[in-house]
């Protein structure tokens, strides 16, 4: 190859490598900012359970014939 051609090809390869590295960096930053769907669902369930009245689901055991 001609020296000028090899310089142009090397510069183009360097540009492609830099663009690829920038895309990988952007993808890794985007993936780390995502919220874990399992953790958010678990937090939602816990917030519902903490706000619930614990005695609301249980019947009162008064005047039952089997209770002494």
pLDDT of 28 reads 79
pLDDT value at residue 19: 95
Q: Distance between CA 14 and CA 24 in Å, rounded?
A: 15
CB 67 within 8 A of CB 61: yes
| Contacts for 9 with CB less than 8 Å, ≥ 6 apart | 1
Separation of alpha carbons 28 and 1, rounded Å: 38
The domain limits of the chain are 3-48
pLDDT 10s per residue in the chain (68 long)?
688 999 999 999 999 999 999 999 888 777 665 667 777 778 778 777 776 555 566 667 677 676 55
CA dist 31 and 27 (Å) reads 6
pTM for the structure as a whole: 0.44
pLDDT at 53: 58
């Amino acid at each position: 190859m001609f020296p000028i051609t090899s310089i142009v090809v090397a510069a183009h390869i360097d540009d492609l490598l830099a663009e690829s590295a920038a895309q990988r960096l952007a993808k890794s930053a985007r993936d780390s900012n995502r919220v874990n769907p399992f953790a958010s669902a678990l937090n939602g369930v816990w917030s519902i359970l903490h706000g619930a009245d614990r005695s609301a689901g249980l019947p009162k055991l008064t005047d039952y014939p089997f209770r002494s």
